[in-house]
C-alpha cells in the first residue's frame, strides 16, 4: 500500500478542497493528464456485420507505432479538450498549456491546474519551450496543484480517460489522424451532452476513512 506521509496528506487535501469549491469561471479548476496510445491497423479488411452477426476482424494486425493523447477536463463546466500528439515531451506539454491559456481560457484570471507528478508537468517546461518573457506570462496564468505520488486516481481526468478508453479506444485505430478524429468526436459529444463526474470523496471523508494514517504523520 502507498505510504501516507504528511506530504501525501497535504497534497490530497489540497486537491480535494479544490473540488469542493463552487464554480468560478474566472478561476476554473482543470484536470490535465495524458496517456499513450498504440496505433494498430488491420491487415485484412474486416467482414461487415450481418443480421445476427457482429463485425468480424482477422486476428492478424500491424503496428503503426504509438502516439500520445492529452486531455484537459473541467468537471464543473462538463467540458473536456483532447489533443493527440506524436510524443509527450516537455515541449508538447508546454504547447498544450499555451493553447489552454490563450485559446480555451483566454478570459480567465488563473487556471487552477490539477495534474500528477510526471517530470514534464512543471513550469520549467514552459521555459524550455518559450522565451523567458512568454514563459513567465504563461506561468502566471496557471496555479499548479499536484496529486500525491502514486495517487493519480485523485485527478478527475483519469475517470474521463477511462471512459474514453472504453467507448472509443477499444478498437483498432491505425493512424494518428484517425485517432484525433475519433477522440475529438467523442469529446464533442460528451461536451454537448454535458457529461460530468460525480465526485464524492471529500476531505472530510479522507479524514474519517484514513484516520489511522493521519495519526501517524
Which domains are present in the chain? 6-214 (3.30.420.10)
pLDDT at 52 (0 to 100):
64
pLDDT at 216 (0 to 100):
59
pLDDT at 46 (0 to 100):
54
Among 94, 72, 69, residue whose Cα is nearest residue 81: 72
pLDDT at 124 (0 to 100):
98
pLDDT at 20 (0 to 100):
95
Alpha helices in 41-156 (DSSP H): 90-99, 124-129, 132-139
pLDDT at 85 (0 to 100):
97
Cα–Cα distance measured from residue 154 to residue 214, given in angstroms and rounded to the nearest whole number: 18
Q: What does pTM read for this prediction?
A: 0.88
pLDDT at 30 (0 to 100):
98
pLDDT at 50 (0 to 100):
62
Q: What is the pLDDT along the chain (217 residues), one digit of tens a residue?
A: 566 788 899 999 999 999 999 999 999 999 999 999 999 875 545 556 667 666 555 445 577 799 999 999 999 999 999 999 999 999 999 999 999 999 999 999 999 999 999 999 999 999 999 999 999 999 999 999 999 988 989 999 999 999 999 998 887 788 999 999 999 999 999 999 999 999 999 999 988 888 776 765 5
CA angle 31, 203, 201 (to 5 degrees): 65
| Strands of 29-42's sheet in order across | 79-85, 61-74, 29-42, 111-115, 142-146
Amino acid at each position: 500500500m502507498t505510504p501516507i506521509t504528511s506530504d501525501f496528506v497535504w497534497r490530497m487535501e489540497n486537491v480535494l478542497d479544490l473540488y469542493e469549491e463552487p464554480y468560478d469561471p474566472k478561476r476554473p479548476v482543470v484536470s490535465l493528464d495524458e496517456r499513450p496510445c498504440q496505433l494498430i491497423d488491420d491487415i485484412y479488411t474486416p467482414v461487415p456485420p450481418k443480421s445476427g452477426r457482429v463485425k468480424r476482424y482477422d486476428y492478424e494486425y500491424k503496428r503503426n507505432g504509438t502516439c500520445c493523447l492529452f486531455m484537459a477536463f473541467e468537471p464543473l463546466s462538463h467540458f473536456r479538450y483532447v489533443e493527440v500528439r506524436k510524443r509527450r515531451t516537455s515541449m508538447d506539454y508546454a504547447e498544450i498549456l499555451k493553447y489552454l491559456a490563450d485559446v480555451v481560457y483566454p478570459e480567465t484570471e488563473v487556471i487552477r491546474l490539477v495534474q500528477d507528478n510526471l517530470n514534464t508537468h512543471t513550469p520549467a517546461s514552459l521555459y524550455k519551450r518559450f522565451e523567458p518573457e512568454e514563459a513567465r506570462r504563461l506561468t502566471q496564468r496557471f496555479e499548479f496543484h499536484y496529486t500525491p505520488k502514486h495517487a493519480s486516481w485523485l485527478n478527475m481526468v483519469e475517470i474521463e480517460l477511462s471512459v474514453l478508453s472504453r467507448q472509443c479506444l477499444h478498437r483498432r485505430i491505425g493512424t494518428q489522424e484517425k485517432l484525433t478524429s475519433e477522440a475529438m468526436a467523442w469529446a464533442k459529444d460528451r461536451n454537448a451532452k454535458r457529461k460530468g463526474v460525480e465526485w464524492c470523496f471529500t476531505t472530510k471523508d479522507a479524514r474519517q476513512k484514513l484516520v489511522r494514517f493521519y495519526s501517524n504523520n
